[in-house]
Amino acid sequence: MQPHATALIVIDVQSDFCPGGALAVADGEAVVPRINALMRDFGATILTQDWHPDDHASFADMHPGTAPFSMIDMPYGPQVLWPRHCVGGSLGAAFHPDLCTDRADLILRKGFRPQIDSYSAFFENDRTTPTGLDGYLRARGITDLTFAGLATDFCVAYSAVDAARLGFKASVLLDACRAIDLDNSLQDAIARMKTAGVTLA
């Protein structure tokens, strides 16, 4: 494999997903030194950033009478309601302060449309609205993608499954990811990734 055809895709290593944040993933900040070290091994490094407007429909407080982590039916299908997190421009939406963002070629923001959530770095949760990442990678001739970051069972898994479906060679470095693990979501995500042909390392 030509090194220039490989990319490390770092998913949502943001303060709100780390201990002390609004949607903290247990041990989330542990991935930071590992990811920083990995960046030198790839032809490209791409960071994603969960980036929601103030009135985002995935926030439980936008739906009176609902609790965080309950489910709701959106026009595009079932959606988990989350605590308010990663509001664009807020401290919680910033990358973890120790993440080496200077090494990134591209920072891709997702989840900025008020009425639709976006777990995957490729498609929003309606599974059809593209983020533009597919075109960017193809235009650069990048074919092999390695994923790391937060959270394994949501944004990392959705991104890796979409990558494999789009024809990229996709792998996930599980020890450079941490999970939310809601109702068995980690086991489900691992099964979906395997079925899609994602390599789990």
Taking the C-alpha atoms of residue 123 and residue 126, their distance in angstroms, rounded to an integer, is 8
* Interface positions, 145-164, toward ligand VGL (CB under 6 A): 150-151, 154-155
- Coil vs helix vs strand at 92: helix
Nearer of residues 80 and 172 to Zn ion, judged by Cβ: 80
Burial label, 56 (beta-carbon count in 10 A; 0-12, 13-18, 19+)? buried
Q: Which is nearer to ligand VGL, 39 or 80 (CB)?
A: 80
Active site residue 117: no
Query: Does residue 16 touch Zn ion according to CB under 5 A?
Result: no
Cβ density class 137-154: b for 16+ within 10 Å, e for less: beebebebbbbbbbbbbb
Q: Of 59, 82, 122, 123, which one interacts with ligand VGL (CB under 6 A)?
A: 82
Which of residues 16, 29, 50, 144 is near Zn ion by CB under 5 A? 50
Binding stretches for Zn ion (CB under 5 A)? 50
Binding stretches for ligand VGL (CB under 6 A)? 12, 17, 50, 82, 119, 150-151, 154-155
